[in-house]
Structure 1
Amino acid sequence: MAEIVTVARPYAEAVFKLAKEQNQLTAWDDALRLLVAVVQDASIAGIIGNPNVSGPQVESLLLDIVGDKVSSEVKNFVQVLVENKRLVLVPEIAQQFAELKLKAEHSVDASIVSAYPLTDAQLGELNAQLVKRFDRQIRAQVTVDPELLGGVKITVGDVVIDASVRGKLQAMAYGLKS
């Protein structure tokens, strides 16, 4: 896994630099997501991994699929990946690109799991507290999990804030066992 991350990094950084210079961060993000969907499709993945299918054939297939949904620079990028036999890196490149994009936008993704649906006012207040704590704009993804019993569990990067009733009960049980 670490090897894939390491090999993908220069590609992600190069694409990010190009996208930023052209003020096309969102377009590249969309294009990379499309490429991820294409290369992870079971039938396409089988063709990509087939040693009987040549690089130019794989390239032609991919470019036919994405068609005019991507720019000529993205098509050139696909060509480079095919030539270097690096199509397997597309998901990791897209992930690293998304992280670089968030950093450049001074944003961070947050996963908020709530025991009950949050009102707009509650979400707004929670978002404001997270902005203050992390000093970044927050892109929140909210889900509901009744097993929390009450409260919320928030994950921002590698920081987990467990303010759920279930989490507090587990902490109390652990404390009593010690």
Structure 2
Amino acid sequence: MSQPAVAKRYALALFQLATEKQMIDEMQDQLQIVEEVFAKTPELMDVLTHPKITIERKKQFVSEAFAELSPTVQHTVLLLLERHRIQIVSEMVKEYRFLANEVRGVADATVYSVKPLSADEKRAISQSFASKVGKHTLNISNIVDKSLIGGVKLRIGNRIYDGSISSKLETIHRGLLAHRS
């Protein structure tokens, strides 16, 4: 089974458990911490996948590193470790976030713009586009891309809304070339 499929299964199981316990948000916050720890310390993955370190030592290390988190999250990380699937932890967190956002009516969106967006601009974009994708709101991450010249390009899932000047110029350019032939 592919790693993304396995990550989805673990995320779904964890999400179902969180739903039963009415801890969706708390679980997401804790999983975010796990993801950040792995992202900020890539050596951790090296240690946890090293063949010469015993599984008992790895478990002890994980238990100590994540002692502040709920037993459910700790158990999930330990389970991934025991089953030699610790490398899917980031993908699992991403899948959990997706499931939690679906329940809340939220979608993640990436907005490319020439300059950083203000909070008001992000809010306006969220209000304008959330309903177009059947959501209540959008979690917007902003990426500055000077090549757009002006306007914005928005990615929500596999949909792209391109209102950038560079895109409009490209369309005009293609139109002129088509008429020239």
TM-score, normalization: structure 2? 0.86
User: Would the alpha carbon gap of residues 75 and 148 (structure 1) be closer, same or farther in structure 2, given more than 3 Å must change?
Assistant: same
8 Å contact from structure 1 (residues 39, 87) kept in 2: no
The aligned counterpart of 1:81 is 80
Q: Secondary structure at the match of 2:66?
A: helix
Q: Please tell me whether residue 98 in structure 1 is matched to residue 101 in structure 2.
A: no
Of 117-126 and 104-113, more deviation after overlay is shown by 117-126
| Matching of residues 138-157 of structure 1 within 5 Å | 138-157=138-157
| Aligned twin of 1:16 | 15
Which ranges of structure 1 fall in alignment gaps of 5 or more residues?
A: none
- Give the corresponding residue for 1:45: 45
Give per-residue Cα distances to partners, 1:81-123, cap 9 Å, x unaligned. 2221211111111111111111111110111222345555544
Residues 106/176 of structure 1: CA separation in 2 closer, same or farther (3 Å cut) = same
Q: Distance in 2 between matches of 1:93 and 1:111?
A: 20
The one-letter code matched in structure 2 to 1:114 is S
Aligned letter for 2:145?
D
The count of residues paired between Structure 1 and Structure 2 equals 176
Unaligned runs of 5+ in 2: none
Q: Give the secondary structure class of the aligned counterpart of 1:67.
A: coil
In 1, the alpha carbon distance for the partners of 2:63 and 2:7 equals 21
CA contact 1:111–1:154 (8 Å) conserved in 2: yes
Structure 1 residue 160, shift from structure 2 partner: 0.6
- 1:64–1:132 distance in 2 versus 1, CA, 3 Å: same
Give TM-score, length-normalised by structure 1: 0.87
Give me the identity figure in percent.
23
AA matched with 1:99: F
Instruction: Pick which of 18-27 and 94-103 moved more.
Output: 18-27
Distance 1:38 1:140, change over 3 A: closer
2:31 corresponds to: 32
Q: What residue number does 1:169 align with? A: 169
**Structure 1 pair 21–116 and aligned structure 2 pair: CA distance change class (3 A):** same
**Structure 1 pair 142–79 and aligned structure 2 pair: CA distance change class (3 A):** closer
In the alignment, is residue 131 of structure 1 matched against residue 127 of structure 2? no
Closer, same or farther in 2 for the Cα pair 1:150/1:104, shift >3 Å?
Answer: same
What SS does the aligned partner of 1:43 have? helix
